[in-house]
Homo-oligomer: A and B are copies of this chain.
């Protein structure tokens, strides 16, 4: 696997050359890439068809792998959007003159080399490449073997556009999809600045466990909506149904609804039809089970259910004596992604927003809004569930590091 090490080093060298690229050059490159996607859509679809043919059509994963003319158009549009975002590097964060006359500046600069490890969606290849180029970073892409043909078609187009625009072709490299590839990334601390795993918990755990290169984790969300006794119960039911069912397979979907026991019967009566209509299956504690049993498919909940990110139309239901118990439940099971309270008690809402330790905390709104585009940050690499560097939507603005520039006239200490 000497060739992988070589590719990693070439990508590092390209990242240095990339620093000399002008803003205009990068904008044009991204626009050209957006156009090239449409122009080469037949070749892209043909490569993708080879990948899809190997899969079981009935498996929902196959749909994630599939490209269509409409999906290619959407990727192309998204690249155009990224091209219009401002370069996050070169921003002055701080500027001061010290007593000894030293002139200090703290500026943002590209990270250097970003490595992404992801699963079958072929759009990720284009998305990460576009975000990295826009922020002046070179990138190493490691997709899954299922998308091999699609990714190879993508990288061919990307490299051609880079070359046509006078940028180093090695600024974006696709690595072999074989699993052992990742081990070469994990030890390349001299050449790679950050590794971003996108996908299942298993993948993220594996990367966290084995990488010596700093990792930004994106993903897993065990998210709660807490319905307080002073909530507008219609609003609460509407929020819970939306948070659970509008897109159950994503990380900001609700997993557990928590409700004050004093309003549990009334609230669950209002909630049940909405969940039933969408085909939701619930795991409820004793109190909630008694209310729900004739209104919904419902099973008894165990601790395991409360710790589960369902990514499906399943959810857990928990009744509590009040906010203290609700906060304790969230503290125990939350993965610190997105947490919501529904209440008309403003003081209590503030307590919740202040106390809950999560990337995004909501009052009277659905957890489904945790997203770079929704928050107005533009396309995102993922939702970070850790606390360092980037928390919540991990967008362009965080694909940079800082650097202190110190200018003197011979000062010594």
Please tell me if the beta carbons of B404 and A361 are within 8 angstroms of each other in the complex: yes
Distance in Å: Cβ of A193 to nearest Cβ of chain B: 5
Contacts of A242 in B (CB 8 A): 412-413
A198 and B411 CA atoms in complex are apart in Å by 28
Report copies per complex: 2
A382 shortest CB reach to chain B, Å: 15
**Contact indicator B401/A387 (Cβ below 8 Å):** yes
| Contact between B353 and A405, CB atoms less than 8 A apart | yes
B-side contacts of A365, CB under 8 Å: 102, 406-412
A1 close to B (CB within 8 Å): no
Query: A96 CA to B243 CA in the complex, in Å?
Result: 22
Q: Are A406 and B363 in contact (CB under 8 A)?
A: yes
Residues of B within 8 A of A407 (CB): 349, 353, 362-365
Which B residues lie within 8 Å of A52 (CB)? none
CA distance A401 to B102 in the complex (A): 30
* Contact yes or no, B214 A212, CB < 8 A: no
**B-contacting residues, A100-123, CB 8 Å:** 102, 104, 111-112
Interface size (A, Cβ < 8 Å)? 63
- Tell me whether A194 is interfacial, beta carbon within 8 Å: yes
Q: How far is the CB of A145 from chain B (nearest CB, A)?
A: 27
The reply to whether the CB of A374 lies closer than 8 angstroms to some CB of chain B is: yes
Cβ contacts under 8 Å, A403 to chain B: 358-361, 391-392
- C-alpha spacing A193/B133, complex, angstroms: 31
Q: Do B402 and A391 touch across chains, with their CB atoms under 8 A apart?
A: yes
**Selected interface stretch from A24-32, A43-51, A55-63, A232-240:** A232-240
Interface residues of A in 15-51 (CB under 8 A from B): 16, 19
Q: Please report the C-alpha to C-alpha distance between residue A208 and residue B211 in the assembled complex, in whole angstroms.
A: 9
A6 within 8 A of B: no
Contact of A408 among B362, B392, B401 (CB under 8 A): B362
* Smallest CB separation, A287 vs chain B (Å): 25
- In the assembled complex, the Cα of A401 lies from the Cα of B391 at a distance in Å of 7
Which B residues are in CB contact (< 8 Å) with A349? 407
Is A70 part of the contact surface with B, judged by Cβ < 8 Å? no
Residue in B111, B358, B361, B368 whose beta carbon sits within 8 Å of that of A413 in the complex: B368
The complex places the Cα of A220 from the Cα of B396 at a distance, in Å, of 29
A355 within 8 A of B: yes
Chain B's closest residue to A252 (CB) is B413
**When chains A and B are docked, how far (Å) is the Cα of A386 from the Cα of B195?**
13
| Complex Cα spacing A411 to B216, Å | 30
Is B388 a contact of A375 with CB atoms below 8 Å? no
Q: A392–B93 Cα gap in the complex (Å)?
A: 14
A98 CB to nearest chain B CB (Å): 7
Min CB distance A148 to B, Å, is 31
Q: Which of A336-367 contact B (CB under 8 A)?
A: 349, 353-355, 357-366
- CA of A413 to CA of B232, assembled, Å: 18
Q: Name A335's closest neighbour in chain B (CB-CB).
A: B190
Q: Is A389 an interface residue (CB 8 A)?
A: yes
Which of B112, B355, B359 contacts A387, CB < 8 Å? B112
Neighbouring B residues of A238 by C-beta, 8 Å: 410, 412
**26 A–B contact pairs at CB < 8 A?**
A16-B357, A102-B365, A104-B375, A111-B387, A193-B388, A214-B388, A235-B410, A239-B412, A242-B412, A243-B412, A353-B405, A353-B407, A358-B403, A360-B406, A361-B403, A361-B404, A362-B407, A363-B408, A364-B410, A364-B411, A365-B410, A368-B412, A388-B401, A391-B401, A391-B402, A392-B404
- Told that A193-B388, A243-B412, A365-B407 touch, could you supply 17 new A-B pairs with CB distance under 8 A? A16-B357, A19-B354, A98-B374, A98-B376, A214-B215, A238-B410, A242-B413, A358-B403, A360-B403, A360-B405, A361-B403, A365-B412, A366-B411, A369-B406, A389-B389, A391-B401, A391-B402
